[in-house]
Amino acid sequence: MDNLEKEALNKFISIDILNSSSLFAVKIVDLETFEVTYANQSMKSIMADEKAKNCWEAVYAQDSPCMWCKVHELLAQRNETSTDTCHEPSIIYEHFNEVANKWYQIQEKILSIEEDKKLLISFSLDISMQKETQSQLINSHVQLSFQTKALKEAKEKLKEQASHDYLTNLYNRRYFQYISQDLINLAKREASDLSVIMLDIDNFKKVNDTYGHSNGDQVLIHLASILTEHIRESDIVARIGGEEFAILLLHTDKAGAAEIAEKLRVSVEEQPLILDDKTCIPLTISLGISSVDVNNDLNIDTCLNQSDTALYEAKNSGRNKLIIYKPLTQ
């Protein structure tokens, strides 16, 4: 930069200020030749070759103009705005300098110091520490998000395990007791019917002894799928222990429960379990039916006991049948 250019440039900014700046790396580029006509010490310390001819060679060791160069964008902005040099457009962007191996925030502006003389003045601020901190925060946030998601999934899994039978994936006895209380309260408010079917597999011990416990588990899974397929969406089916299952039927009296129970009995009898080796395990079930006394029952226990009594009557009287509970006074 010759003395005339320095004198013209000093009208806009003091060269002494640029020289003494250690916070900003400053360069001035002649837009006619794209030579770096000035660089302060901070800029020289990060340049690839301060003696190179063109700015892209000197600063970034590029063989051709930088793809991220903003000169054309600045010139376009300049043509669209006032020619008042006090309001020259500027641009701010971030760039990773591979030569210095650092991130910089760069502010650039075009200055006209003579009638046809245009210079690009560029201020680069090292923001590597901020970028590293930002990256760490992002990584921490991502890790926290993954941990939160994993924790949520674990909680949901534990919640499901707490309410579901591990083998059949039906509800377990604990959940059946819990949800039945809500449904009893609902039935009381609506003065509606609520019934229970208790059922278990006939001669299940013989199934285990004949085909093995692993195939006995497959029998339980098979039965669970049949029950799930044939009950209504509003009904609650649960495995409450061993080969014993319970179904809670909303808005259903004993007669309606008996119809559903008979359909289940027939479906189970008509769908034996076929194993991979073509072995066929025939199945039958016995069922007991009772209804909740919505005016007097405080919980499901009385109805469950009545259904259980009817179930054992069905088993003791020949199996593969259903019995509707009748109080002894009747």
User: Rounded to whole angstroms, how far apart are CA atoms 303 and 194?
Assistant: 10
pLDDT score recorded for residue 17: 57
Q: Is the predicted pLDDT of residue 271 greater than 90, yes or no?
A: yes
Please tell me whether the overall predicted TM-score, pTM, comes out greater than 0.75 for this model: no
Arithmetic mean of pLDDT over the chain: 86
pLDDT tens digits, residue range 91-147? 999 989 888 889 999 999 988 877 678 889 999 999 888 888 888 888 888 777 777
User: Rounded to whole angstroms, how far apart are CA atoms 73 and 109?
Assistant: 11
SS (HEC) of 278-327 = CCEECCCEEEEEEECCCCCCCCCHHHHHHHHHHHHHHHHCCCCCEEECCC
β-bridge partners, 285: 201
CATH number for 3-130 (one of 3.40.640.10, 3.40.50.300, 3.30.450.20, 3.40.50.740): it is 3.30.450.20
CATH architecture entry for 162-324: 2-Layer Sandwich (3.30)
Q: Scan for tokens 């534990």, then name that residue.
A: 158
Catalytic residue among 243, 244, 270, 313: 243
pLDDT tens digits, residue range 27-61? 999 988 999 988 888 899 888 898 888 899 989 99
CA 18 from chain centre, in angstroms, equals 51
Token readout for 108 is 């650039």
Annotated active-site residue 243? The verdict is: yes
Q: Where are the domains of the chain?
A: 3-130, 162-324
